[in-house]
Amino acid sequence: MGHAAGLAALGYHSAMLSLRQLAEALQAEYVPCSMPAGQEGSPQTESVERVASARNATQTSLTFAENEATLREALASAAAAVLVTRQVAEAFLSEVKPLKKPLLLVAQPRLAFAKAAQYLQAAKASTGVHRTAILASSVKLAEDVSIGAYAVLGEHVEVGARTRIGAGCVLADGVKIGVDCTLYPRVVIYSGVELRDRVQVHAGCVLGSDGFGYVRDAETGAYTQFPQQGTLVIEEDVEIGANTTIDRGALEETRIARGTKLDNLVHIGHNVRVGRNVVMAAQTGISGSSTVGDGAILGGQVGIGEHAEIGEGVILGGGAGVLSKKKLRGAGMVFWGRPAQPLREYLKGLATLARLTRLPRKAKD
């Protein structure tokens, strides 16, 4: 069974685009094949329906190359066309002619490849509401919404057009979901949380649970929960990895801004504000009331204390630890270690430590 037929059997609609349509969408320069049609080695089609590596490409696949070696491999593959930079293409074609496949010339082939995948991404037809799903009478569903088996939607939940809610999801009262969102199985969203358009939430996430905030009685040592009555807002084009948890605000809101990508097993505490286009790797934890600026990059297992401030564009290496109320600033600046410090200082410290561990041995000699 071919790719398109296999998708159809699963209920998907595959997008097929001509190379010129794709070039227009990607703002790429289209360079046609210079071999006569029908000649051995010439492309069999001027349309594509999927992206693929050169090794796995078929006659309806688009692939990409970032240097002369990978361009040579791509041109020898079955792919219909290749995304590549003008510089690489010109250097290669000055030695190799004729051109066996059409080229799409772009500034960033890998980025264009990812965007092409989205344009060509198969869209699954709406399956409607599964017979075992439970919906309150006040739920509002836009057109082409899909709701999986045993999902539960509370009072006054609103779901936007073409959104898909997987099996076993629970949306509490007052949750609002935008258009073209995807909730994978067993996502739990507490009351009053808002997800805007094109948000993807992977399996097992919990969004809007109570923050970890307690007041200690100085006399008895007993703890009383501080009110956790704020909300959580997830802006457009955010992706949240599996089993990630994000707390609601205490008295105000927790907010994840547009375009941010969270890996699996991330925890974000109450009142945290994460800026636009932040990327955050697995097992990172952010304590309450901290902020992460636009474009910041957080490696795996980063720990951030409460009321800390991570500036725009800051890069935190894997395992970095940021103390409470600490401010790290400097776009493009890399911080590493526990506590986090500029990379140069961190490496100096390691070098000094290495020298100290060698001193006793030299003394013996």
Instruction: Return the SS3 of 70.
Output: helix
Q: Find out whether 89 and 31 touch, Cβ atoms under 8 Å.
A: yes
R_g (Cα) of the chain, nearest Å: 26
* Three-class HEC string of 76-138: HCCCCEEEECHHHHHHHHCCCCCCCCCEEECCCHHHHHHHHHHHHCCEECCCCECCCCEECCC
Active site residues: 270
Q: Residue 343: enclosing H or E segment and its boundaries?
A: helix 343-364
Backbone angles phi, psi at 359, to 5 degrees: -60, -45
**What is the C-alpha to C-alpha distance for residues 181 and 169, in angstroms, rounded to an integer?**
13
Task: Record the tokens describing residue 305, joined without a space.
Answer: 């204390």
